[in-house]
Amino acid sequence: MSKKILLSGVKPTGRPHIGNYFGAMRQFVELLNSGAYECYFFLADYHALNLIQNAALMRQNSLDLAVDYLAIGLDPSKAVIYKQSDVSANTEAAWIFDTLVTVPYLERAHAFKDAESKGREVNVGTFNYPVLMAADILLYDADVVPVGQDQKQHIEYARDIAQKFNNAFGRTFKLPDALILENVAVVPGIDGQKMSKSYNNTIPLFATKAEIEKAVMSIVTDSSSDLPVNVYNIHKLFKSQVELEPIYETHKGKYKILKEMLIADIESFIAPLRERREKIAADVKNIHTVLAEGAERARAKADLKLAEAKRAIGVS
Ligand code: TYM
């Protein structure tokens, strides 16, 4: 029996943070190692182009994210690791899907509404974001897509688009399911809001000890309560509730001590990852080889599916 297909991606828009890791990337590694899935992990560089319009930075961020993927334990001999832009079929399929969705439908997307509500002039790439994302997923026949809560709506768009295509042209695309872990669906940042690069409230996944200290010391605490909720909620990622309860009870109201304990726990978690990352980053040639081989394998898969879709719509 063939394995289920698992696919996910991360935008190379800067250093990933522990929200990306616990919300999504850790699942990538665990699910890959479970052996239950045929896995595809990519760098969503065309999505990042909406934000990063600087060639040197785009190159650097992409290389860095590929290193991050390997450093967290994604093994290129077991998973296909590639850049979205290396697979032209993705953007071609996005065009086909563009013809199936309406403007009001895309106007309902959270990311678009957010950008618009901030009074920003939204570029067409941001507006079409969910359509390219549907192509990313559907061309690989993905069954499951591990992501954080903020991507749930995008997976629903992908399902809808698959259904619209299948209704119009006959069954071609599989309907994917989002895989969201409830307890880490929205990892909070140091201000208690969702951790996000754009909110400037992150703890980088490969942070140095000094960066960890600085971030933890700036966690916002509310002096009206004995329990520093924002500290606790981040601490929960690194220690179980059973371990944490007596610690927080003993040091009730002692925010500094609790923050120091959190720093020690984050550091002991991150230090080995950071060391592994340094070794992997030293071999740039290997990173390029991984991406080139991944691109070839991804193209082989996506091109076949695109050809099927092109036959279905009557252009081949
Ligand atoms: P991106 O790069 O914003 O985020 C990568 C992954 O991290 C998750 N995440 C979080 N999870 C929990 N708590 C948080 N605070 C948090 N912040 C981020 C995201 O949900 C995501 O899973 N659109 C995608 C990239 C993409 C993609 C795809 C993903 C493009 N095409 C196809 C899956 C399938 C994005 O911008 O992720």
Q: What is the pLDDT of residues 130-176, one digit of tens each?
A: 999 999 999 999 999 999 999 999 999 999 999 999 999 999 999 99
Q: Give me ligand 1 centre to Cα 245, in Å.
A: 31
Residues having CB closer than 6 A to ligand 1 are: 8-11, 19-20, 23-24, 44, 47, 133, 136-137, 145, 147-148, 150-151, 154, 184, 186-187, 194-196
Supply the mean pLDDT for the chain.
97
Name the residue of 147, 195, 205 whose CB sits within 8 Å of the most ligand 1 atoms, as the mutation to test its pocket: 147
Work out the pLDDT band at 306, boundaries 50, 70, 90: very high
- Sequence-separated (6 or more) residues with CB below 8 Å from residue 305: 89, 93, 138, 139, 140, 141, 173
pLDDT at position 120: 85
- pLDDT for residue 115: 87
Give yes or no for residue 223 having a pLDDT over 80. no
> What pLDDT is stored for residue 128 in this prediction?
97
The predicted-structure confidence for 84-139, as pLDDT tens digits, reads as follows: 999 999 999 999 999 999 999 999 999 899 888 988 889 999 999 999 999 999 99
What is the pLDDT averaged over residues 172-183?
Answer: 98
pTM of the predicted structure, to 2 decimals: 0.97
Domains of the chain: 4-185+284-313 (3.40.50.620), 197-279 (1.10.240.10)
At 224 the pLDDT is 75
| pLDDT for the residue 226 | 81
**pLDDT value, residue 272:** 98
Residue nearest to atom 9 of ligand 1 (CA): 20
- pLDDT > 90: percent of the chain: 94
pLDDT at position 13, please?
A: 97
Question: How much distance in Å is there from the Cα of 25 to the middle of ligand 1?
Answer: 9
How many whole angstroms from 126 Cα to the centroid of ligand 1? Answer: 15
- Compute the distance from residue 86 Cα to the ligand 1 centre, in Å: 20
